[in-house]
Amino acid sequence: MSQIKKMKSASNPMRRLRIAKVVVNMSIGKSGEILQNAMKVLQQLTDQKPYMRKAKKTIRDWGIIKGTPIACVGTLRGEKATDFLKKGFDTKRNKLPKSTFDSNGNFSFGIREHIELPGVRYDPNLGIFGMDICVTMERPGYHVKKRRKCKAKVGKRQRVTPSDSMDYIKEVFNIELE
């Protein structure tokens, strides 16, 4: 009986996984020219305009003041997201630890230097920046919990599990999990 359920779920289009979004975050910790350079780099990498993120609280030891811009973020969806992920996985040599996956099937990883991405050249005027890449996985129908009118819960069978997400990443991107 369980094999029949697995076969039905594979053919059901509402059970297919997809990448909802890829968020690329560059936390600089300072505002000014360094942050502007990071925004230029992020714009070159993602082919879209990034937005600045402000500090949520003051941390005197690090010189961070609440309300000061300290990071830049870009959100990618669709083809841009998958293309950027392929480049990101190349820098990680197509290997990810299983600990990067959370309980909802989402995963994150970091890149120490943006020049590790394939096709990116070093520009001494801009500098070198690291980044965090956060990937959100979902199934069709997730919008019912996010929409404004008639919000509803997503059922247990429709939720993404870490093993579902790991299988998808192995299948689509040929990633080895450690």
| pLDDT tens-digit map of 1-60 | 444 455 455 688 888 899 999 999 999 888 889 999 999 999 999 999 999 999 999 988
How far apart, in whole angstroms, are the C-alpha atoms of residue 159 and residue 157? Answer: 6
State residue 52's pLDDT score.
92
pLDDT category of residue 138 using cuts at 50, 70 and 90: very high
In angstroms, how far is CA 123 from the centroid of its own chain? 25
How far apart, in whole angstroms, are the C-alpha atoms of residue 176 and residue 178? Answer: 7
How far apart, in whole angstroms, are the C-alpha atoms of residue 56 and residue 34? Answer: 19
Sort strands 69-76 and 18-27 into parallel, antiparallel or unpaired: antiparallel
Question: What DSSP element (H or E) covers 79?
Answer: helix 79-91
In angstroms, how far is CA 175 from the centroid of its own chain? 16
pLDDT category of residue 108 using cuts at 50, 70 and 90: very high
Question: What DSSP element (H or E) covers 87?
Answer: helix 79-91
pLDDT category of residue 112 using cuts at 50, 70 and 90: very high
* Residue carrying the six token digits 């990883």: 109
Token reading at 168: 């998808």
CA distances 174 to 26, 46, 167, Å, are: 26, 22, 10
SS (H, E, C) 109-174: EEECCHHHCCCCCCCCCCCCCCEEEEEEEECCCHHHHCCCCCCCCCCHHHCCCHHHHHHHHHHHHC
Mean pLDDT of 133-148: 90
Is-contact 36 127, C-beta < 8 A? no
Residue 135 has φ and ψ, to the nearest 5°, of: -115, 130
Go through the domains of the chain in sequence order and give each one's CATH number.
Answer: 23-177 (3.30.1440.10)
Q: Which pTM value belongs to this model?
A: 0.86
State residue 44's pLDDT score.
92
